Structure 1
Amino acid sequence: MADFILAGKADDPQYARAEMLGHHLSLNLPHYRFEPRPIVPDEWDEVARKIYVQYDWADRPARDRTIKVPGDALQQMVWRRSGELIGNANDFISLMKATYNQELDISQDTLDAIAQENLKTLLDTKK
């Protein structure tokens, strides 16, 4: 069973792209599970560090056999529920293309709108 978790800034268009692909795959593939975890942008750095430490990724390479650290390389984080770090949204999108031959063609305007809606929804739920 494929089981992925995506975390990232709620207002990030790349997060939105990976989120839409994950939802698409979970609706269309049996045994595919996807859990998005949008994070308030101001909280992302702290949350990213906590996730990174929780899964001990400083000592475990990502799927592409590189050590990735929060910051530029991990503006979003995607991992398997088993704890294997996939990488950022682009790494996830590439993996889904290679594994399932699936990708979504979404305009930048649509991604920007989804990202803003993600942030609004997240902030509304925190009230």
Structure 2
Amino acid sequence: MSSYIIAGKADDPSFARAEYAAKQVLALYPNIFMRFEMKHPDEWRDFINSICRKYDFAHYPADFSGPLVWTLEGSLIGGSADFVQAVCLEKFGIKDLPSVSDPSFKHMAADNLKQVKLDHHR
């Protein structure tokens, strides 16, 4: 079973596209595991730096804006575009994904940020 962790800032349309693409994979391949680490923009830098140290993803700068995708085993996939291309399109054959500039991803990102803010107040 393939397992992926997709981490990004909640307000990032690129993270929203990776999330959308991952959900397309899950719809066709329910035995795949995807975990979404959606972070408030204020928490992102500390989070991604701790992940890069933990998994030795040394070639990412401290101010890397994300998103970042890796496997549960700690193998780096890369950024959102790497994940969409290598995993969603090439490995699982997902077709016709909208580009990151599609307005729906800005809307998803805004909704994601609202959700993260709500979760912080609970």
Query: Does the alignment reach a TM-score above 0.5?
Result: yes
Report what 1:110 is aligned to. Answer: 104
Structure 1 segment 1-127 matched on structure 2, within 5 A: 1-58=1-58, 68-70=59-61, 75-95=66-86, 96-103=88-95, 104-105=97-98, 108-127=102-121
Identity over aligned pairs, percent:
32
**Superposition TM-score, scaled by structure 2 size:** 0.88
Residues 43/36 of structure 1: CA separation in 2 closer, same or farther (3 Å cut): same
User: Structure 2 regions of 5+ residues with no counterpart?
Assistant: none
Give the deviation of 1:70 after TM superposition: 3.8
User: Equivalents in 1 of 2:11, 2:90: separation in Å?
Assistant: 27
Q: Count the aligned residue pairs.
A: 118
Deviates more, 1:73-82 or 1:5-14: 73-82
**For the Cα contact (< 8 Å) 1:52–1:70, is it kept in 2?**
no
Task: Supply the distance in 1 between the matched residues of 2:85 and 2:111 (Cα, whole angstroms).
Answer: 25
Q: What one-letter code is carried by the residue in structure 2 that aligns with 1:120? A: K
Q: 1:63 corresponds to which residue?
A: none
Question: Relative to structure 1, is the Cα distance of residues 98 and 78 closer, same or farther in structure 2, using a 3 angstrom cutoff?
Answer: same
* Other structure's SS at 2:36 match: strand
Give the TM-score of the pair, scaled to structure 1: 0.85
- Unpaired runs of 5+ residues, structure 1, are 59-67
Contact (CA 8 Å) 2:6, 2:68: kept in 1 or not? yes
The structure 1 segments of at least 4 consecutive aligned residues displaced by more than 3 Å after TM superposition are 70-74
Assess, with a 3 A threshold, how the Cα gap between structure 1 residues 93 and 47 changes in structure 2: closer, same or farther: same
